[in-house]
Amino acid sequence: MKYNILVVEDHSDISSIVSKYLDSEGYDNFVAKDGFEALEYFNSHECHLVILDIMMPGINGFEVLLEIRKTSDIPVIMLTAKTEEIDRLHGFDTGADDYVVKPFSVKELMKRVKAMLKRTYHEADEIIYSYKDLRLHTKSMKLYKEDKDVELTAVEFNLLFTLFKNKGQVLSREQLIDLSFGTNYEGYDRNIDSYIKRIRQKIEDDPKNPELLVMKYGAGYVFGGNE
């Protein structure tokens, strides 16, 4: 699952570091410089978590949080400059989910983000996708074909996983990369061809004439959907 995180922070030095780290952890993210921009983005995009500075010019963090809470239970991590009494009480009332006090280590913040996302969205439950004679087990990262065990590498697993999730849809190479490896994947479109090739050798009865994982000329690939 690909998460999108909204960072609201007026100091660009801080926000750029946070954003960089979020990227490297594979999270999509958007930086808003003030409360106004934040709410505008929040109301028009899907977000899974908000990192929200309290001290900001214009609308402050609390007001943004209040506004968000009118429509959403999204997890919010507040950045507080000081352990001020006022901040604390305010935070209680407005319903932030966690606090990180400045100065903070980005690593610590990432840890909290990760923990919060996991807690909120219950990731990593065992899901078994199946199609025809294939069964994909998410926890063991294994694929079974006619009850026979097929070993997948991490890359193959991720790619096949997104194909399973979007069964019957034509996905461009670019889409496959974004969904499987994140937008910051450095590498070239045609690598997908290689991965597909390897996956086919593992799942197709006749890899030369693929039936499960089919190419759509000039567009990309489709998994399944030919009944």
Q: Figure out which of the listed residues 36, 101, 132, 193 binds its own copies, where binding follows CB under 8 A.
A: 101
226 burial (CB, 10 Å; 0-12 / 13-18 / 19+) is: exposed
Q: Closer to DNA at the Cβ: 42 or 157?
A: 157
Cα distances from 219 to residues 9, 107, 170, 214, in angstroms, run: 39, 40, 7, 11
- CB 184, CB 24: distance < 8 Å: yes
Report the 10 Å Cβ neighbour count for 63. Answer: 15
Cα distances from 75 to residues 48, 61, 89, 117, in angstroms, run: 7, 14, 18, 8
Residues binding its own copies: number (CB under 8 A): 47
Query: Which span sits near DNA by CB under 7 A: 31-39, 129-137, 140-148, 213-221?
Result: 213-221
222 touches, from its own copies, DNA, none (C-beta below 5 to 8 Å by class): its own copies
Q: Figure out which of the listed residues 2, 12, 72, 82 binds its own copies, where binding follows CB under 8 A.
A: 82
Q: Figure out which of the listed residues 197, 205, 211, 225 binds DNA, where binding follows CB under 7 A.
A: 197
Determine the Cα–Cα distance for residues 115 and 105; give it in Å rounded to an integer: 16
- CB 32, CB 58: distance < 8 Å: no
When asked if residue 193 is in the footprint of DNA (CB under 7 A), the reply is: yes
DSSP β-bridge partners for residue 29: 5
- CB 175, CB 158: distance < 8 Å: no
Q: Which of 134, 135, 136, 138 is nearest to 126 (CA)?
A: 138
When asked if residue 4 is in the footprint of its own copies (CB under 8 A), the reply is: no
When asked if residue 186 is in the footprint of its own copies (CB under 8 A), the reply is: no
For residues 161-180, which are near its own copies according to CB under 8 A? 168-170
Minimum separation from the CB atom of position 2 to DNA (A): 18
191 touches, from its own copies, DNA, none (C-beta below 5 to 8 Å by class): DNA
When asked if residue 12 is in the footprint of DNA (CB under 7 A), the reply is: no
When asked if residue 129 is in the footprint of its own copies (CB under 8 A), the reply is: no
Residue numbers at the binding site for DNA (CB under 7 A): 151, 153-156, 186-188, 190-191, 193-198, 200, 207-208, 210, 215-220
